[in-house]
Amino acid sequence: MDATEKHGAQYAAGGAYGPDAVATSMQRGDGGFGRDQQTYYDHPVLQKPHWKWEIVTYFFVGGIAAASSALAALAAAGGDPDDALLVRNARYSALAGALVSGALLVKDLGRPDRFLNMLRIVKLKSPMSVGVYVLSLFSMNAGLRALEQLRADGHVPFAVPGWIAKPLRVSTGAPSTALMACYTGVLVSATAIPVWFTGRRHIPAIFVCSAASTGAALQNGLLALTGGSARTSKKLAVIELIASSAEAILLLHWRLSVGESAKPLFRGTRGRRLERFTLVGGLALPALLLLPSVVSRRPRHDPALGLIAAAAALFGGYVLRESVVYAGRDSASDARAYLRHPE
Amino acid sequence: MSTPEHGFFTDVTLCIGCKACEVACKQWNQLPADGYALSGNSYDNTNGLSATTWRHVAFVEQMDRVEPSASRWMMMSDVCKHCTNAGCLEACPTGAIIRNEFNDVFVQPDVCNGCGYCVPSCPFGVVAIQPQSGIAQKCTLCYDRQKDGLEPACAKSCPTESITFGPIEELRALAEARVAKLQAEGREAHLYGVDGPETRDVGALNAFFLIPDRPEVFNLPPNPVLPSKFQRAAYTSGLLGALALGAVGLAVFRPKPGSA
């Protein structure tokens, strides 16, 4: 005799326990379970992460800051005089992003001195601890570059002494920038939340791609506002196109390869929002707007178009971080997803 | 000074659901009340562990309509598991979560900064942020009482010895004997948190249980994960992505011959 015959469909379906527990239990008249009980009244096994808009915004701004810093370094290394304006904009925005990031983390913790508690120890096993040092080194690097830029622009009369600048540049440049772009993805992946840990092969790479596409979009927008050259704008558009295509492919692959545990991210209201504002509005729309300037041999500069594309891409990037963070809260509440996870 | 590992053995077959452990824990640790909401889930109006509830008695009513005499009513007093490989401890960036001299997982309240990363890192959903203090809190295994040679408040108050406290080795021997006795009587009984599949990632639990049914019946995960094991795949994914996009950037910004 199988469970359905023995206890009736309501037990086998197992869906009768939840917020309406009192009503359903009175209807059934037994107040409890059958022998084939799947969960404990569907009460969550896991606690919900408390992260709110501060952390969502930090993930978003931190990614843009990292990408801006990388774009500044790459453009400076390329040495094209047309790109000088990009280098300047990107260096300043990287520092601004780093400062905003720190402020957001302090806001989340509640008091500034609480940030210092994390500088007591270095713990490579904790992505949160790694992240604190990544952000600190990244901020130092961004500060140094911005100072150098201020000096080059003639705003400050002194230069950072070489014995400070050189080791700082070597030790903090590329590694801290790369980690700054991806560690937030590692941070959410290395948890017990099903939607996050089952996405561990996708989330960090998606965050990096989103950092690059939103960073390039922001720089393109700034370039349009500050009157940059069409050639620089085209280079940024190429980077944004490649990054956002990779991001879209990774998102779709994640969606197709993962099972029930990613339900809170890809289905329902949140799934539609992610589709509308990230996949379509944030990735496809800017790509369509940018494509003509990328494929044409003589790039035309259209600031208005650039600004629209940038705004859409930036909003899409924000919605991506928001969706991933809040899907984690829903996933933590889903007892079934965790009790049955395949790992 | 070396102290033998101390922990809890909680025997579901002895629990009568009196909730003395919940009350004693709240009183000794001066934890605030959680309100008077009724859940409708048997006699369980606590629902689960939280930052202000460090012992929680679950009530499982299994009704057998075909053979009413086979119906069961089980109670289980849940608590922090004090894992050998503790996800919260590994995740803590401040070093607030430590393993104390009794080998229990303890949150130092003056060091915790409320970052909340331990919360999604606990595979059992135990530790949580307390909104009033803004820091992470959970069962301390009555660290203060242990230091004075007393047993924790919950174990002290348990009238049926469903909760026993003591050196882990002694507790395991006691638990094995209890399982053997129950099984000899033809009753279902096994240990959760000693050497079963649930210990694959998190290791043996310093607070382990004797349960007469599958773990999920008591909201215990059959397969709890240790989050740090996901780091390698995650870092690989992120750094490969960064490397690939860095290469794209280099190619895009490389000086064109004859252009400059």
Q: How far is CA B232 from the centre of its chain?
A: 24
Neighbours of B229 (CB within 10 A): 16
The edge-to-edge listing of strands for the beta sheet with B163-167 is: B163-167, B6-11, B207-211, B190-192
Residue B249 token pair:
């950037």
Q: Does A141 map to a domain? A: yes
Q: Would you say residue A45 lies in a domain?
A: no
Q: Do the Cβ atoms of A67 and B242 come closer than 8 Å?
A: no
Q: In this structure, is residue A244 part of a structural domain?
A: yes
| A279 is a domain residue | yes
Average pLDDT, chain A: 87
Query: Taking Cα atoms as reference points, which of A212, A86, A80 lies closest to residue B241?
Result: A212
Residue A42 located in a structural domain: no
Query: Is A128 inside a domain boundary?
Result: yes
Lowest-pLDDT range, A14-28, A250-264, B62-76? A14-28
Least confident piece of the model among A239-243, A289-293, B196-200: A289-293
Spell out which residues of chain B touch residue A45, defining contact as CB-CB under 8 Å: 124-125, 219, 221
Is the CA virtual torsion A310, A62, B243, B257 positive or negative? positive
Looking only at the bridges linking them, the beta strands covering B6-11 and B55-62 are unpaired
Indicate whether A291 pLDDT > 90.
Answer: no
Q: Report pLDDT for B257.
A: 67
pLDDT at position B171 over 90: yes
From B149's Cα to the closest Cα of chain A, the distance in A is 31
Separation of alpha carbons A135 and A62, rounded Å: 8
Q: Which of B217, B242, B249 sits opposite A37 (nearest CB)?
A: B217
Domain hosting residue A296, numbered range: 53-338
Q: Does residue A199 lie within any of the structural domains?
A: yes
Q: What is the pLDDT of residue A8?
A: 37
Mean pLDDT of B231-257: 93
Convert the pLDDT of each residue in A1-51 to its tens digit. 343 343 333 333 333 344 444 455 444 444 467 767 788 999 999 999 999
Question: Rounded to 10 degrees, what is the CA torsion of A225, A228, A230, A231?
Answer: -140
Does A272 lie at the interface with B, CB-CB under 8 angstroms? Answer: no
- DSSP H or E segment with residue B191: strand B190-192
> Which contacts (CB < 8 Å, 24+ apart) does range A242-245 have?
A242/B245, A242/B248, A243/A209, A243/A210, A243/A212, A243/A213, A243/A216, A243/B245, A243/B248, A244/A209, A244/A213, A244/A282, A244/A283, A244/A286, A244/A287, A244/A313, A245/A283, A245/A287
Q: How confident is the model at residue A238 (pLDDT cuts 50, 70, 90)?
A: very high
CATH number of the domain enclosing A239: 1.20.1630.10
**Residue A233 with chain B: CB contacts under 8 Å:** none
The tens digit of pLDDT for each residue in B174-197 reads: 999 999 999 999 999 999 999 999
Q: Among A26-40, A115-129, A278-292, B207-221, which stretch is predicted with the lowest mean pLDDT?
A: A26-40
Structure tokens at B95: 């070093």
pLDDT-based confidence at B66, cuts 50/70/90? confident
Whole-number Å distance between alpha carbons of A280 and A283? 6
Judge whether residue A167 has pLDDT over 90.
Answer: no
Whether chain B has a CB inside 8 Å of the CB on A126: the answer is yes
- Let me know if residue A27 belongs to a domain: no
Res. A182: pLDDT tops 60: yes
Asked if residues B88 and B103 have their Cβ atoms less than 8 Å apart, the reply is: no
How many Å apart are CA A82 and CA B256, to the nearest integer? 12
pLDDT digits (tens, 9 = 90+) for B30-47: 999 988 888 888 899 999
pLDDT, residue A38, reads: 81
Give yes or no for residue B123 having a pLDDT over 50: yes
What pLDDT, on a 0 to 100 scale, did the predictor assign at position B159? 97
Q: A316 pLDDT exceeds 70?
A: yes
Is A30 part of the contact surface with chain B (CB cutoff 8 Å)? yes
Asked whether residue B7 carries a pLDDT value surpassing 90, the answer given is yes
How many domains does the structure of chain A reveal?
1
The token pair that represents A268 in the structure block? 């329902």
The arithmetic mean of pLDDT across residues B196-223, rounded, is 94
For A341, the closest of B121, B223, B239 (CB atoms) is B223
